[in-house]
Structure 1
Amino acid sequence: MANLIELIFKSDEKADLFNFIGELRQFDHRYLLRNDILLAFEEFCKAYEKPSSYSRNSRLSRLVYYTQEIILETESICLVYRPKIAKQEIYRIYEDLAVEALTVRELLDIRDDFVDHFHPEEGDVFEIDLQPFYDYSPMIRDPKNIGQGMQFINRYLSSKLFQDPRQWLDALFGFLSIHQYNGTTLLINGRIRNQRELSDQIKDCLSFVSRLPDTQSYEEFRFELQNMGFEAGWGNTAGRVKETLGILDELIDSPDDRVLEAFLSRIPMIFRIALVSIHGWFGQEAVLGRPDTGGQVVYIIDQARNLEKQLKEDITLAGLDSLQIEPKVIILTRLIPNSEGTKCNQRLERIHGTENVWILRVPFREYNPNITQNWVSRFEVWPYLETFAIDAEKELLAEFQGNPDLIVGNYSDGNLVAFLLARRLKVTQFNIAHALEKSKYLFSNLYWQDLENVYHFSLQFTADLIAMNAANCIISSTYQEIAGFPDSVGQYESYQSFTMPDLYHVVHGIELFSPKFNVVPPGVNETVYFPYSQEENRLSSKINQLEELLFVNEDSEHIFGVLEDPKKRPIFSMGRLDRIKNIAGLIDIFGHSTELQKRCNLIIVTGKLSVFEAANDQEREEIERVYHLINVYNLHGKIRWLGIRLPKTEAGEIYRVIADHRGIFVQSSLFEPFGLTILEAMVSGLPTFGTKFGGPLEIIQDQVNGFYINPTNLEETADKILEFITKCEENSGFWEFISKQAIERVQNHYTWTTHTKQLLSLARVYGFWNFTSKENREDMLRYLEALFYLIYKPQAKSLLDEHMQR
């Protein structure tokens, strides 16, 4: 940055920088974010008649492009520049163009000052700095490798095995010695007393099993292996045992990261998994579309179902069937007494199609029954989580008949409970955020006090800091979720430094280069979402009914709009009605283009279409906005709006019915952390247009298997859709080509089989890492506990006091 400014100062662009700063001062507001800055520069170039090459290739344009925010001060500007992913620099530029570099602490003071909460005296604000706790840990160096923590740890550990073989082989021997299931020893027994004997016995055992037929069952030679010191867990056949011991033998003789990963992936050490998701209506029927639920129920149930399937396969391959081991997965959530006809008031519910996957519901303790008897928003659950964790611990131990082997938190509240449980039970903790509210609500930390009565961000952001730093592993769906893109900040990156005026400053909140981060995208349920061309698997008895529902039926309180020409190509979208999902924005795009209206119908499916059904003000506002836009653009006869909740199987079939009509799917979210509906549409065969803001950028390859859109640019988005439709009309095979590419993209990269295999590999690798490394996490965990008791609990107590008055 300093070099870039120096180059600007030495060129004719110095005057342009001076003039551009002057133009910024014409703005009504003094805190400008990247979009504001880019628009201001675009207007500057027009006003000063700059050539188009200047706006793209000048030094000043580069400075502007990588500037994330500008704060206009009285005699200077403060500028936050992000030249690289996960790296920011801060500068103050004075009116005479003198420049000084600023520290993060100085930036946080400036932000406080901006909202009139300036603390001029040193030590006047609580400061959170977690950087020292990462100083002793190995770190990823290259930003492009952020999110590949498991590969990094495997390389690091294998190098340690090579550099200091005795110490690390002792640790490996110790690790193999601890595995058991319900008191039954696994892998090695007392006949092998140290790592030297282990190495020798491996070679003897390999010699023995090599003489057996590869298909011979483990049960037929188990006693011979026990005499050599090897218990169950190496394989179910002689061939499998030979492979596993061969990998271990190679690892001991010539350490290699790929060999280490291959060996750890076979260790039977995960049998009981707790998935924690607190705030939603969590069930299998009549819960989708409920407030704050979104796709979390679908994601977690599909994940749990596939985890059981993979665990059973792993147990069989390890040769543990004779021990009658039954893997168990429990989804821990809250019990809601007033469940409104759902099963959310039942303590235990088995997941359909599984043998041992359960929803375990634990109630919040009774404080004010008017609150705790009912559903509680994710913004309001905070006072109940500590006691929930205490009660849930007893329930989990009873259901598992022992400790879980892995606890996976979901969302901010579930991650905090996962931290509390893992801390007490000394179990590996994984976090999955799905979405971090801090990125969704602009200035949410800066103006937290103004928003506190609704959103309680002081609690949420504190919970996020505690849980994400405590976690052994953080799973994200995309790279951008962690570290963003070259021109935009990632969700976790936004926690690196921020201020909550009058509460605390975060100087260093999370280490993005930590190997705890891993990108593991979810899959789609292949029994529900599959290509429209698979006629043999489709719901033939429902297709005609869904056709009528989507295009023809008139007599229903859950349908608004009659299509003048149902044969026109359908533009389809499905989602809940909130500001971020931006269903109304798609109607705005459609209404903005008369050409789209001539050639297409717009069909949307949401949970509701009446303001009387709205669960909150935001949903009510979106419903009113939809009706307003339909009337303003006079879209009657061109739009069909279904306010229904469909069973999952019928929701899957709807995508395929739209594909039968050669329709398209448009996902118009203002921000999308991942994009599960995009996967569902693509694997069904629908050409898909997805928002460029968030995860869809990593799912879709633009112009190859789908298309990016900027839903805030109505004309540009309409033109992209029209361009595709024109190509389809000119080339009858173009729709089928994109459809096929979309299907292949999902089937090759986004399956639950791939997801669960990666998740379990991570659990084994991080279990080994925690056991063998000298990393001392206790000091960090103590620090995080202090944050919990000093900041979180007093804020939670204040919210509880408020709840008691309702």
Structure 2
Amino acid sequence: MLPETRLKQPKSEHPIYILMISMHGLIRGKDLELGRDADTGGQITYVVELAKHLAEHPDVEKVDLLTRLIEDDSVSPDYAKPEEELGNGARIVRLPFGPKRYIRKELLWLHLNQAVDKCLHFIKQQGRLPDLIHTHYADAGYVGQQLSLLLGIPLVHTGHSLGRAKRERLVASGRKLHAVEKQFNFEERISTEESILAHASLVITSTRQEIDEQYGQYTNVADTRFSVISPGTDTSRFSPPGRKKIASSAQQAVDKFLAEPEKPIIFAISRPETRKNLKGLVEAYGKSPQLQAMANLLIVAGARKDIRELEEAQHKVMGDLLLDIDLYDLWGKVALPKYIPQEDVPELYRLVARRKGVFVNSAFTEPFGLTLIEAAASGLPIVAPDDGGPRDIVANCRNGLLTNTLDSNEIAQTLLQVLQDKKQWRLFSKNGVNGVYRHYSWPAHVKKYLKEIRRVLNKDKKRLRRQQASILNSERTSIPLAQMALISDIDNTLLGDKVSLDKVTDWIAEHQKDVAFGVATGRSIESTVNVLNKHRVKIPDVMITSVGAEIYYGKKLVPDIGWSAHIRHLWRRDSLAEAFLKFTDISLQPDNTQREFKLSYFAKPGQIPPLSEIYDYLHSLKLHANLIYSHDEFLDVLPIRASKGHAIRYLAYKWDLPLKSFLVAGDSGNDIEMLAGDTLAIVVGNHSAELDILKNQEQIYFSKAHYAAGILEGIEHYDDEFNHALDLKGF
């Protein structure tokens, strides 16, 4: 049987653009450092190979694989390259977020909101939205869900491993729950996984067991559509030995350990983790004289220079292996190479197959087991845990035996059974090669993958068509591709005159592809939605509410979590509320006006002290706040980073739009910050006297017309700036 070949095919008439996200580990297109650490394993192989093979299909225009840019002398400079081509329209794109150095995945959670912003910048630069977002693992799922909600793009997710299952395993192994939580932050991860399940259009798993036994532990599983698509294997790399000579570097790396190198080999390859049960495998071999007489043992457990420099968990596993090899006096029978280059791994499979050996996965549990597929493609029979993925693989390929990996005696007996029956060995070998080609090749994987994706995209198109009686009703926001943004206050600016309001909404509809629409208001989000619905104004792309304390997107009212995290700095709400009890002539507004990041008071002129005096008082208590007084009646107390103006500047950064691309309109004192500065500002004719201080300032236009008519007058005034901005982008 011929190995799969990669032919560049012409693209179809409407090929799709897939955005893949995999945040952690060391990701590059070749010479993958698999096993270097717990974060650089099978997931890395899968996402890189999936991107490559999808891009070869004529129905796929391009695939961008987004990951983290790493500048760290302790890792290869490859990971600091912003872009790496994979061929045929696939590439790795590395975005900087968090610290420059390489850090483990559990520490990335603090920086994922920044990752969302960086991804949005990248998407804007592409000039078109992806058709699909496919995320890998919970950290990327968090980022992808935010993008999906913000942009209205379907989300497909692959978990690879799940928080509930991992926490359960660690606690069962004897770890204390509080220590496990401190190290792995499972509560946040599991909460994110629940949220992803509730939102994703499709969750891809490798086996049915993942759905039933792992995802089955989650509350939102009933609302999720799953598809079992087994990972592919590159059969151009993994194939039977044939007559070709085995690479001498691979053979020497093994044989130098062995007294009788020509004997069959029991081969295991995995990261040095407790759950991989390498200790149980050595025990099975060490306690079986018959197994030792029949075969050598080869264990490739990641890469190491000095065991003492490994992470604590890996250090313990490797130390125990060496101690057990000594305990059972296995010197000359066990090979434990320090480093095997990725290009030599297929050679090891072929070497073991040529010597009529067996591949063993001794893990306690195995969601899938990509190495089992690699071994099968190499004509090597397998022994694997009676759990998860191996059950499916053996059922499909009929190329080995399952065993109870919790019992070292059973591992030994099953290995002996495969090695002793030569006729059965040959049948397992032949079945494995044929079974992989039928069930686990990349062409087979991509074919099933795209079939499922077409269902997702067709469903999404139907949803959009139902919503698009007018294109304005689409849930897809125009912000990422917009070149300008119109942000208006609501009361006494956008609202006040129905005729001019209708004209403004018509203008928004006419320019909706190029101009994002937003509101900035002192109202709460609930009040904002109610008043807009009452006046039949479509829900904007972005809503800055509660005087800049909150930001929401689109019809689904997606909160900007990054903004909330940003303004939380130095915010002590309860202490501020207690401090304001000193000012007896200032009274709290009703409860429905109070928010997590906003305290609102009634404060009449003559009753409220000068704001400078209030600031001094708060500073004496080491309290920090932004005080906004408007309409000679309302005092809003906000975090020091919160205001309408700060929110617009945050959006300018987040959406990669210069401030001169923001046309803002307002009428009162709480609009001053967003009107002043580099924005193109409109002050409507019915403005309050508080804004007179802005007269004669550059880029602040005072309309003669009132309400929405004043916005239209301002738009006409800035017509040249609009046309210039849009022309620059070729619209």
Deviation by residue 1:425-457 (Cα, 9 ceiling, x = unmatched): 221110011111321232779975442321111
Which of 194, 197, 218 is 1:495 aligned to? 218
1:564, distance to aligned residue in structure 2 (A):
2.1
Query: Please, what TM-score do these two structures have when normalized by structure 2?
Result: 0.60
Separation in 1 of the partners of 2:116 and 2:94? 12
Output the CA distance in 2 between the equivalents of 1:716 and 1:795: 56
**Alignment match of 2:412 (pick from 718, 737, 744):** 718
How do 1:329-728 and structure 2 match up within 5 A?
329-338=63-72, 340-351=75-86, 354-365=87-98, 372-398=99-125, 400-442=126-168, 449-483=178-212, 490-496=213-219, 509-511=220-222, 514=224, 516-533=225-242, 535=243, 540=245, 543-551=247-255, 553=256, 562-608=257-303, 611-612=306-307, 614-647=309-342, 649-701=343-395, 704-728=398-422
SS at match of 2:459: helix
Offset of 1:495 from its aligned partner? 1.3
User: Which residue does 1:280 correspond to in 2?
Assistant: 25
Q: Is the 8 A contact 1:285 1:342 kept in 2?
A: no
Q: What is the distance in 2 between the residues matched to 1:427 and 1:544? A: 50
Q: Is the 8 A contact 2:278 2:363 kept in 1?
A: yes
Partner of 2:36: 290
Q: Secondary structure at the match of 1:492?
A: helix
Higher relative contact order (CA 8 A, sep 6+): 1
Query: Bigger CA drift: 774-783 or 283-292?
Result: 774-783
Q: Residues 727 and 734 of structure 1 are in contact (CA less than 8 Å); yes or no, is this contact kept in structure 2?
A: yes
**Cα distance between partner residues in 2 of 1:726 and 1:573:** 19
Change over 3 Å in CA distance of 1:615–1:363 after alignment to 2: farther
Q: Does the residue aligned with 1:518 lie in a helix, a strand or coil?
A: strand
TM-score by length of 1: 0.55
Equivalent residue, structure 2, for 1:741: 431
Q: Encode CA deviations 1:566-618: one digit per residue, 9 max, x unaligned.
A: 22211111121111222232112111212111111101112235654644111
Partner of 1:15: none
**In 1: Cα distance, 2:171 partner to 2:562 partner:** 20
SS at match of 1:602: strand
2:697 matched residue in structure 1: none
TM-superposed CA distance for 1:280, in Å, is 1.0
Q: Tell me the alpha carbon deviations over residues 100-144 of structure 1, each in whole angstroms, 9 at most, x when there is no partner.
A: xxxxxxxxxxxxxxxxxxxxxxxxxxxxxxxxxxxxxxxxxxxxx
Do the aligned residues in 2 keep the contact of 1:478 with 1:519 (CA within 8 Å)? yes
User: What's the secondary structure of 1:604's corresponding residue?
Assistant: strand
Letter in 2 for 1:303: L
Based on CA coordinates, which of the two structures has the bigger radius of gyration? Answer: 2
The answer as to whether partners of 1:445 and 1:457 remain within 8 angstroms in 2 is no
Whole-Å separation in 2 of the counterparts to 1:528 and 1:657: 14
Deviates more, 1:606-615 or 1:336-345: 606-615
- Cα 1:572–1:780 shift into 2, 3 Å: farther
- Encode CA deviations 1:680-703: one digit per residue, 9 max, x unaligned: 001100011111232111111399
Task: Give, in angstroms, the shift of residue 308 of structure 1.
Answer: 0.8
Segments of structure 2 that go 5 or more residues without pairing to the other structure are 1-8, 468-473, 476-551, 572-731
Change (3 A) 1:796 1:736: farther
Q: How far did 1:286 drift? A: 5.3
* 1:213-233 deviation line (CA, Å, top 9, x unaligned): xxxxxxxxxxxxxxxxxxxxx
User: For residues 266 and 315 of structure 2, what CA distance do their matches in structure 1 show?
Assistant: 24
Q: CA deviation at 1:787?
A: 12
Are the aligned partners of 1:462 and 1:792 in contact in 2 as well (CA < 8 Å)? Answer: no
Conservation of the 8 A alpha-carbon contact between 1:382 and 1:796: no
Contact 1:287 1:342 in 2 (8 A): no
Please state whether the residue corresponding to 1:282 is helix, strand or coil: coil
Deviation at 1:409, TM superposition (A): 0.1
Across the aligned residues of Structure 1 and Structure 2, the Cα RMSD in angstroms comes to 3.3
Tell me how far apart the structure 2 counterparts of residues 444 and 721 of structure 1 sit (CA, whole Å). Answer: 28
Change (3 A) 1:333 1:615: farther
Tell me the distance in 2 between the aligned counterparts of 1:564 and 1:445: 41
Change (3 A) 1:781 1:613: farther
Deviations 1:597-640 (A, max 9, x none): 11111011122356546441110110111011111111112111
Q: Tell me the alpha carbon deviations over residues 520-573 of structure 1, each in whole angstroms, 9 at most, x when there is no partner.
A: 11110122112223x4xx5x4x5233222221x3xxxxxxxx322222211111
Contact 2:385 2:402 in 1 (8 A): yes
Q: Equivalents in 1 of 2:425, 2:450: separation in Å?
A: 38
Change (3 A) 1:445 1:591: closer
Identity, in percent, stands at 27
Structure 1 contact 671–694 (Cα < 8 Å) conserved: yes
Flag the 1:734–1:444 CA change in 2: closer, same or farther, 3 A.
Answer: closer
Quote how far apart the aligned CAs of 1:752 are: 0.9
Q: Which structure 1 segments of 5+ residues have no match?
A: 1-234, 237-265, 316-326, 366-371, 484-489, 497-508, 554-561, 799-806
**In 2: Cα distance, 1:547 partner to 1:711 partner:** 28
Measure how far apart 1:468 and its partner are.
2.1
Could you tell me which amino acid in structure 1 is paired with residue 47 of structure 2?
I
* Aligned equivalents of 2:406, 2:141: Cα separation in 1: 32
Do 1:337 and 1:344's aligned partners in 2 also have CA atoms closer than 8 Å?
yes
Measure the CA separation in 1 of the matches of 2:63 and 2:396: 38
Q: Which amino acid aligns with 1:639?
A: V
